[in-house]
Every structure is written in structure tokens, then in C-alpha cells.
Amino acid sequence: MSHYFETPTGPERRREVRMSFWETEWTFTTAAGVFSAERLDPGTAVLLRETTPSGSASRLLDLGCGYGVLAVALATACPLARVDAVDVNPRALELVVDNAQAHGVADRVFALTPEHADPDARYDEIWSNPPIRIGKAALHELLLTWLPRLAPDGVARLVVGKNLGADSLQAWLIEQGYSCERYASAKGFRLFTVAHP
């Protein structure tokens, strides 16, 4: 079964998921047909445990946002920032809107399909638990579409499973001319910062 849903079928079966990170208790609404609907997925949990955003960031991107955990958290932590939440799944984007509203950041979180994102936007930070299981070619195309949208001094923060090719992805990103440094490893995941050279 695919881990990623472009157009989910079947009933939503909405539910609430509780989680704790950044010294805060959070509740998010999830639904069937979105990534990790039952819990905070382990990769994102590691990313949130090991990383916090820069308070000075003014434009951020949650790439592959799912139901909006990163987008909502980033908007909450960076009260002056705009956060673009991008996903191919329309049900996930509806949940992003609802979760942003529930957490009081709906005016600064924008749920977008890739084609509706501004191609001229430049991001201070890109956060992503990228969809590795879409395949190497599709993943490379995805990253080569979005990483060029980093601001000149911007940084992307990626979490990738070690057993899903994290080390080879790091080597590939460096071959593409990016700086890609591993800054943490935990529970089978690698955390990378990616920046323009």
C-alpha cells in the first residue's frame, strides 16, 4: 500500500492526535488517507526533538506537509513569519487549514498544492520529512524543484531514514552543488541541513 495519497478515497474518519514537542502539548485533527494519520510519525518527531526554527525567519516552507504539524508549529514559533504548507493531497490540505485555525495561526499558514505555490518565493527555511517512497527519480525532481527556492542564506532541514537511503541522498545533494551536513542521528533517522554552497 502506498504511504502517500494524492487523492484519497473512502470516508475521512477524522480523529484527534495528541503530541508533545517544544515544551508544548499539541492536538491535531487527522483523517484516513493522509500520511501517518494515527500518530506523529517517527521521522518528524526526531526532527522536532532535535531542531527549532530561527525566530528571525520571515518565510518558511513545510514541504510534504501532511495534516500540518510542521507548518502549524513553525507559524507558532515564528510569530512574524508566513508559512507555506505544500502537499499533493487535497484532504491533507483541508486538515492544514483546520489545524491552523484551531491553533490561531490561520492568517499566516497557506495550504497549497505545488502548482499553486509562488515559484518566485524564496524561503529562509524549508522543513521536510520528504516522501522517499515516491522513488528516487521523483524525489530528486522534487528536491531540485524546491531547494533552488531557498533564500541565498536559507537552510533546508530534512529528516531521512537511514535504511531508506539517507546517506546516498546526502551524497547526491552534494553532487548537485549543495552543502549538505548531517547534524544529528536518532532512532534510525539522519537529520540534514542543506544550503546553497
What CATH number should be reported for the domain holding residue 164? 3.40.50.150
Dist CA 82 CA 91 (whole Å):
22
The answer to whether the CB of 46 falls within 8 A of the CB of 159 is yes
Dist CA 40 CA 30 (whole Å):
10
pLDDT mean over 21-49? 95
| pLDDT tens-digit map of 42-96 | 999 999 999 999 888 999 999 999 999 999 999 999 999 999 999 999 999 999 9
- 4 is a domain residue: no
Q: Residue 192's beta-bridge partner residues?
A: 158, 182
Under 8 Å CB-to-CB from 37, ≥6 apart: which residues? 15, 17, 30, 31, 67
- 182 is a domain residue: yes
| pLDDT tens-digit map of 135-147 | 999 999 999 999 9
- 22 is a domain residue: yes
- 139 is a domain residue: yes
- 9 is a domain residue: no
Q: Which of 90, 89, 85 is nearest to 69 (CA)?
A: 85
Q: What residue numbers bound the domain in which 27 lies?
A: 17-195
Domain count, the chain: 1
- 114 is a domain residue: yes
C-alpha cell of 77?
A: 514559533
> What pTM, to 2 d.p., does this model score?
0.94
Dist CA 81 CA 93 (whole Å):
19
- 8 is a domain residue: no
